[in-house]
Amino acid sequence: MKKFFLLLIAVLFLYLSSIAQIPSGYYDLADGKTGEILRAALRDITITDHIKIPYTSTEFDVWDAYAITDVRPTPNNTIIWDMYSDIPSGIPAYTFTIYTSQCGSATEEGDCYAREHLMANSYWGGIDDAANPQYSDLHHLFPADQYVNNRKSNNIVAQTSTPTWTSTNGSKVGPCTYPGFTGTVFEPINEYKGDFARAFLYLAARYMDQMSTWITTYPTTDAQYIINSTGGNYKQWFIDMLILWNNSDPVSQKEIDRNNAIYYNTPQHNRNPFVDHPEYVCQVWSCPTSPVITNITHTPTYPNSSNVVSVSASVTDDVSVTSVTLQWCTDGISFNNSIIMNVSGAPNYVSTSSIPDQPASTTVTYRIIAMDNEDNTSTSLTNSYKVIKDEPTDYPTSLSCGTSTSTSISLTWIDATTPIIPDGYLIKASSVSLVDITDPVDGIKEDNGSLIKNIIQGTQTVKFTGLVASTTYYFKIYPYTNSLININYKTIPTALNTSCVTSAGGSGSCATDLIISEYIEGSGSNKYIEISNNTGVSVDLSGYKLQLFSNGSATATSNVTLSGTLNDQTTIVYKNTSATVYGGTVITNAAVNYNGDDAVALYKISSGSYVDIIGRIGEDPGTAWTSGSFTTLDKTLVRNSSVTSGVITNPTIGFPTLATEWTQYTIDDVSYLGAHSVTCPSCQAPTIQASNITFPSVSDTSMTIHWINGNGINRIVVMCQGYPITEIPIDYTSYLSDSVFGLGDELGSEEYVVYNNSGSTVSVSNLIKGQTYYISIFEYNCLAGEESYLTPSVNSSQITYSITTGTTPDNTYCVSSVLGFATTISYTSTGTFTGNTYTAQLSDAMGSFASPINIGTSISNLNTGVINCSIPANTESGTGYMIRVISNEPSIIGTNSNLFEVILYIPCETPISAISSRNDYCENEGGTIDLSAIGGSGTLLSWYTSGCSGTLIGTGNPLNIEAPTTTTTYYARWENSCSNSSCASITVTVLPIVNAGLSIAASENLICEGTLVTFTATPSNGGSSPEYQWQLNGLDIDGQINSTYASDSLNNYDQIKCILISSETTCISESTATSNIITVTVNSIPETPTISQIENYILHSNVPNGNQWYDSNGLISGAVNQEYTVTSNETYYVIVTKNGCSSEQSNSIAVVINGIDILSNNKSFEIYPNPVSNELIIVSKDNLLKTRYEIYNSLGQVIYKGILIEKDIIQTTNFSSGIYIIKLENDKTLEFKKIVKK
């Protein structure tokens, strides 16, 4: 009831989500941000309101979410939208129904769907708790085919051009061929690469704070190859690939609807910002500006051997697209054929010619390369198609019965041959008759089942198991070509047929305990449980309980103790109270009240353990447990006779034995109730399994396996490439082995038996380099057809040796006759190397390594490295060169690198000179010029400005260009595809358009009355013989027509200017110019001063200011006061200066100074010593108070002053040698003394 209700809600939610929009303001925090700041903002947005939903729960969980987020709208919202099986342009091989088809294990494609983490949960340790919401984050958790999911395993999602396995919808597993990683990867189909990319980019935003801690906490997972150990971001190669996927596969309506459904209709309630805003991808991770290639298609979609194929695509860019090229090949890697694509209504491009018709079964791989006018280049995702075959020509021959047991029949035949060889064979069986076998229909693939087998060409054997003993089975074999909707069966004439009989089965009592031998979940309340005793003794039923676990309950909801005795090889039937369809002996039991999604268990009281379980206790599978076509809803299930022991341990997930231990019948079929037989082996299984698996030798295509035997008589060794073995051998079944991997019997899909014998060593060949092979060894006893196997197996794994050569740093290498080209090549290897040298080898121009040239070595035992190598000088030109890396210990040949070009070139020679057809012209003349170079050699002469190899302006010799309007230097050099010469240059001088100009200057800045002032005119662009006219106060000055004008009669405020008439005739616009105006200031001459002697020692000027005293020796420095005190015998005068103008010299006065004491014979003061050296003492004889004294030097300057009361001591150490005057003055006396400083 819960699931039915959820389906109704899901239909309503899907309608609501179809009209939903991005919530208003949801991305406001991201506005205006870029780079890591934007990524952090998106982290905060996606964390807000994110609620972790349960992975498995009795309430709403991930299974329930899929009913809302991942179902197709047509026909009725119940078909799972599985990216691992969907074929967008065709019909998928199978589909899944919501709830009904969910499961936890599968043996082949189409069995069931599971919950798929696009980023493997092992990257964070597989932890599912509140701290790890990514475990159930729907934005990277999708429903997916369980078998394909197993093949994907924990591998990185990337690209492979050489897949080792391909699903029915084209998803691939194989070595990575995208630059940056070489390990095993899973590649989704192109139509869903954008979905994958945006899911991974969401993780880098939502979990940017956690991703790097996953690497440091779990460093051995493949996450180390895509996630940086710091910063919470992906490695650059992975980002580049995700950007390519995002751009190549734009957001689809499926993604938009799913994003809305997660936000609006599930408790998770957050959004993937890269679905809502694809432009955020480039705003965070800075996408290169280059063409975007989308919508790639080829026509016809499924070509046959007579069809040619055209290719179209959309190419967009923010600048002009200049070229689009289709490259194709038939080897998957070389892309050595090219076809130009032309625009056919932008942005659509179509190949100008078609890919030629190819032989049937040929796989054509193609890609598109686009370039824009800024030389940005983009390469599209790789696409491919396989040329389909016509119907096979012949049937196989010699169909015959091989080994038969009571439960199995083997058939053998000889494969059909030319001209049209089958791809495989459909073998159908019936226990009724040949007529009961219906012919297959072209275009409809028939899936494997108990009576239907599909076998590939080259196998020539098949085994049918689970058959009924002593029964005749009828077989028909139909060869076919192609697959899926192109499958083409041969049915005319009548198919080859045969019949075989199973042997009689053993019987008896060999079960280990009671088992549930029949389960009926019929219409209404028609529900029955049959319990069988095949233990060899009677069993007291009171020691057992029949328990019911309803709706995923972990504790019994009904717990009924049985009663009575059940004899050996008899059964007892329990029924629901209201069951009516069976008329045999039954006992009503309250535990028989189940639906298809409830677990039922038989519990043994004495041991406190289960002896059999139907379903899984504690799990609600939805409406039923399923496995392929098997289901516990509305079916009768009868236990196979080979089952001797029940399910004693509660499964970890689902109902794993549903399809292997039960035979399914239609609803309300009760014909098998009341009896059950067990086929017992005639001998017992071993008890000790093999051990200690080792690998004495491993190469790139083979390995030797050694083990220590258990206690079985024989053992089978099973190998599987890429994932662990999931199946176990079936008792009474013989398996053919072949040490050529892939040719032995299959235990499960692609789980090949490589050994079946009694020894302990096998050497297996036909392996693929660099792949992990899983090994299981099963011990067994008994004769052929009666085998009894010991399970579980002992297991191990081993990777084969490989060397994957990296991509060359460049696509073109230039060599000359004397110079090679140094480069590097990277490699990644698998296996253990000892004493090893890696060698880089160069192919010939056609890509052949028949005679390789060694171009570099590296002594190393590491599994990754870079080899320094050199393309040899004188290597011939060609476009098909490749490099491969090989090793010597052991000897392994690596893969080939990408194709690249080698050019053998002749170095360019520098031009001798460069010339121009014009020079020294005016900037407004216009026109063109021819640039030419003389001498030198090369393929192309290129011209540059802004230096050699600066800005390219054109090519040619001569090169005609528009005449430059400013002086420009042009650089010419010869070029070819590999070299450039040095440059020759020519400077083209361009004369600017000019105007005449004139400025004047005066010879004197300070003008006094009568000063002669000379004015000088300085012209610009005046020519060789300019004309002048000087003007005074606006009027021409007669005769003043030279470049200078002089006058000594200027008045204050006179204005002087000059007019120029130019004689220049080249590139001049205005020939007349007027100079600047000089307004003069004329100062008057001061009146002549008069000096007098007011004391015998003081001279006085009658002018208060501007005095400068002179003696017969000239100017007295510093003597500028109105009075001057003389200090020596001289003749003195003064000159007065005002406003920069000086007067005439004053009258002169001669002054004579005699003796040491001067001007007074008064003896009021005593001064000693005189001459003086260091200290001068002045003493007042009359004890006069406050006598002021000053000491003058020979210039009349006061150098010392003081106050004398009785005695004063003056330090004269710093006085210069010479004569000094001391002036002493008080209220009663004025005296002068002369001293001499020694």
Does 800 score more than 70 pLDDT?
A: yes
Nearest to 386 by CA among 460, 300, 272, 491: 300
- Average pLDDT over every residue of 93-113: 84
Give, in order, the Cα–Cα distances in Å from 206 to each of 119, 251, 271, 787, 939: 13, 19, 10, 55, 55
Provide, rounded to the nearest whole percent, the portion of the chain with pLDDT above 90: 62
Q: Which CATH number fits domain 802-904: 2.70.150.10, 2.30.30.30, 2.60.40.2550, 1.10.3720.10?
A: 2.60.40.2550
Single pTM value for the model: 0.47
Place 1065 in a pLDDT band, splitting at 50, 70 and 90: confident
For residue 447, count other CB atoms closer than 10 A to its CB: 14
Give, in order, the Cα–Cα distances in Å from 676 to each of 309, 468, 514: 61, 13, 12
pLDDT of residue 508: 57
- Write out pLDDT tens, residues 28-68: 999 999 999 999 999 999 999 999 999 988 889 999 999 99
- Average pLDDT over every residue of 713-729: 90
| CATH code, residues 1157-1237 | 2.60.40.3080
- Write out the two tokens for 20: 């939903």
pLDDT of residue 1156: 38
- Measured distance CA(266)–CA(916) in Å, rounded: 76
pLDDT of residue 515: 96
Give, in order, the Cα–Cα distances in Å from 294 to each of 189, 195, 248: 14, 14, 5
Place 588 in a pLDDT band, splitting at 50, 70 and 90: very high
CA 785 to chain centre: 56
Residue extents of the structural domains in the chain? 2-285, 307-386, 397-501, 515-665, 691-799, 802-904, 913-991, 997-1083, 1091-1151, 1157-1237
Residue 989 burial (C-beta neighbours within 10 Å; 0-12, 13-18, 19+): middle
CATH 2.60.40 fits 307-386, yes or no: yes
Place of tokens 């919501």: 98
Instruction: Give the length of the chain.
Output: 1238
Provide, rounded to the nearest whole percent, the portion of the chain with pLDDT above 70: 96
- Average pLDDT over every residue of 1046-1060: 92
Does 377 score more than 80 pLDDT?
A: yes
Place 830 in a pLDDT band, splitting at 50, 70 and 90: confident
- Write out pLDDT tens, residues 201-227: 999 999 999 999 998 898 888 899 999
Give, in order, the Cα–Cα distances in Å from 315 to each of 26, 279, 294, 722, 1172: 32, 17, 7, 38, 109
Instruction: Examine domains 913-991 and 997-1083 and report if their fold is the same.
Output: yes
| CATH code, residues 997-1083 | 2.60.40.10
Please state which of the ranges 921-935, 1159-1173, 1192-1206 shows the lowest mean pLDDT: 1159-1173
Q: Which helix (H) or strand (E) holds 319?
A: none
pLDDT of residue 20: 62
pLDDT of residue 1221: 86
pLDDT of residue 16: 44
- Average pLDDT over every residue of 136-146: 96
Does 1217 score more than 60 pLDDT?
A: yes
Does 1159 score more than 70 pLDDT?
A: no
DSSP state of 121: G
- What is the overall mean pLDDT for the chain? 90
- Write out pLDDT tens, residues 723-757: 788 889 988 788 889 999 988 888 887 889 999 99
Please state which of the ranges 344-348, 405-409, 451-455 shows the lowest mean pLDDT: 405-409
- Average pLDDT over every residue of 1101-1107: 93
DSSP per-residue string spanning 436-502: TSPPP-TT-PPPPBTTEEEEETT--EEEE-SPPTT-EEEEEEEEEES-GGG-EE--SSPPEEEEEEP
- Write out pLDDT tens, residues 4-20: 444 444 444 444 444 46
- Average pLDDT over every residue of 675-704: 87
- Write out the two tokens for 631: 């289901």
Q: Which helix (H) or strand (E) holds 244?
A: helix 236-248
Torsion of CA 546, 551, 555, 558, to 10 degrees: -40
- Beta strand 883-888 pairing with 794-799: unpaired
Please indicate whether residue 1183 or residue 432 has the higher confidence score (pLDDT): 432
Helix axes 253-265, 193-206, angle to 10 degrees: 40
Residues 595, 560: contact at Cβ < 8 Å? no
| CATH code, residues 515-665 | 2.60.40
Residues 157-193: b if buried by 16+ CB within 10 A, e if exposed: bbbbbebbbebbbebbbbbbbbebbbbbbbbbbbbbb
- Write out the two tokens for 920: 């020294």
Place 504 in a pLDDT band, splitting at 50, 70 and 90: low
For residue 213, report the phi and psi dihedrals to the nearest 5 degrees: -70, -25
- Average pLDDT over every residue of 980-1004: 93
- Write out pLDDT tens, residues 594-625: 999 999 999 999 989 999 999 999 999 999 99
DSSP per-residue string spanning 831-889: S--SS-EEEEEE--TTS--SS-EEEEEEE--SSEEEEEEEEPTTPPPEEEE-EEEEEET
Q: Which CATH class is domain 913-991?
A: mainly beta
For residue 1145, report the phi and psi dihedrals to the nearest 5 degrees: -65, 140
Does 1046 score more than 70 pLDDT?
A: yes
CA distance between the termini of the chain: 133
pLDDT of residue 1206: 84
Query: What's the fold here for domain 397-501?
Result: Immunoglobulin-like (2.60.40)
**Rg of the chain taking only CA atoms, in angstroms:** 54
Place 373 in a pLDDT band, splitting at 50, 70 and 90: confident
- Average pLDDT over every residue of 94-121: 87
Largest CA distance in the chain: 174
Query: What's the fold here for domain 691-799?
Result: Immunoglobulin-like (2.60.40)
- Average pLDDT over every residue of 120-134: 91
- Write out pLDDT tens, residues 521-541: 999 999 999 999 988 778 999
Nearest to 202 by CA among 153, 251, 151, 149: 251
Nearest to 1009 by CA among 953, 1083, 935: 1083
For residue 344, report the phi and psi dihedrals to the nearest 5 degrees: -135, 70
Please indicate whether residue 21 or residue 338 has the higher confidence score (pLDDT): 338
Report whether the peptide linkage leading into residue 493 is cis, meaning its omega lies within 30 degrees of zero.
yes
CA atoms 154, 156, 158, 164: torsion sign? negative
- Write out the two tokens for 432: 């009724």
